[in-house]
Amino acid sequence: MAQVVYQIDSAHSAAHFSVRHMMVSNVRGEFTKLSGSLAYDASNPRNSSLEARLEAASINTCDEKRDAHLKSPDFLDAEKFPELTFRSKQVANEGDEWKVKGDLTIHGVTREVTLTVEGPTPEVKDPWGGYRIGATAETKIHRKDFGLTWNMALEAGGMLVGDEVKITIELEAMRQA
C-alpha cells in the first residue's frame, strides 16, 4: 500500500497546551483553528509525513484579557506571526510508540521537536462514506527557545509564567479522494 493523504478535520481535532502559573497551578488552553495534512503509508509508516498549521489568533484559555495578552507582541504577536506550524522530517518507532521529529515554528522561530505519537488508529468508514483515522501526539517545549520571553518576577520568588509548555494534539483526519 502506498501513501494515503488525509486532511486534518479541524472540527474534530484540537491542539491543547498547559503551562505553570505562579508556580502553583497549570493554565490550560487550546488553539481552536488548525489545519494541515497527513500522508500515511500503513505498510511502511516511516514513509509518512505530517504538516500542521495553527492560527495564533485562535488561542483560547477561557479568559479574554489573558487571551488578548497572549496574542500581543509580549507573547505570540499574532498579527506579525499569524501561524504556528509543524513539518515532520522523520518518523521512527520505539516499541509501541512512534516518534515524529520535525520543525516547529512559533513566533517566527523554528526549532526541532519530537512528538510522541499514539496511533494512528485503524481507518474507519464514517456515516457519509468517507474514511478517517486519528492519533494523539504530545511534546514539551521551552517557550523561551521560541522567543516567548515575557515574564514577571513574583514577590515571594519565582516567576509568574513557567518556561515549560506541554502540548497535546488530538488529530482526526479524512482520506482525500
Q: What is the pLDDT of residues 99-149, one digit of tens each?
A: 999 999 988 999 999 999 998 888 999 999 999 999 999 999 888 888 766
Cα–Cα distance measured from residue 103 to residue 54, given in angstroms and rounded to the nearest whole number: 14
Given a cut of 90, is residue 155 above it in pLDDT? no
Cα–Cα distance measured from residue 56 to residue 71, given in angstroms and rounded to the nearest whole number: 7
pTM strictly above 0.85: yes
Residue identified by cell 516567576 is 159
8 A C-beta contact, residue 96 and residue 70: no
CATH fold, domain 4-175, is: Lipocalin (2.40.128)
**Looking at per-residue confidence, does 162 or 15 come out higher?**
15
DSSP conformation class of 161 = E
**Domain-wise residue ranges, the chain:** 4-175
8 A C-beta contact, residue 116 and residue 136: no
User: Which cell numbers hold the place of 74?
Assistant: 509580549
